[in-house]
Amino acid sequence: MLALSSSCRYFLYDKSTDMRFGINALSGLVRNKLGFDPMNGDVFIFIGKRGNQIRLLQWDKDGFALYIKKLERGTFERPILIGTAITSTQLSFLLQGVRLESVRYRTRYTPLKRA
């Protein structure tokens, strides 16, 4: 079951993906194009050419899980990233249709780390 949490890593494939691809083809993209092991528990995100469909691939302890969301109207934003990693918050915004460029994070208290 997919639960967005900060304990998991999320990687966005930055090129358009054929949405006919299933688990085997997507895990091949993860291994060959992104350079990650698809069975490490991370979530890998793929957006279709039209931008109206997104697929999330994750190894879930005993097998792959493939989550698909297809929009009836509108498109998913393709975030401009340095690298391929995004946060769980960014993924949540992406799935909800929030423009990532317009999001402003307010400063919060973070305790000092002791050496």
Query: What confidence tens digit (pLDDT) does each residue in 20-45 have?
Result: 999 999 999 999 999 999 999 999 99
The answer to whether the CB of 52 falls within 8 A of the CB of 34 is no
Separation CA 4–CA 105 (nearest Å): 19
Residue 6 token pair: 């900060």
pLDDT of residue 1: 59
Q: Where are the domains of the chain?
A: 10-100
34-70 residues labelled b (16+ CB within 10 A) or e (exposed): bebebeeebbbbbbbeeebbbbbbbbeeeeeeeeeee
Separation CA 20–CA 70 (nearest Å): 12
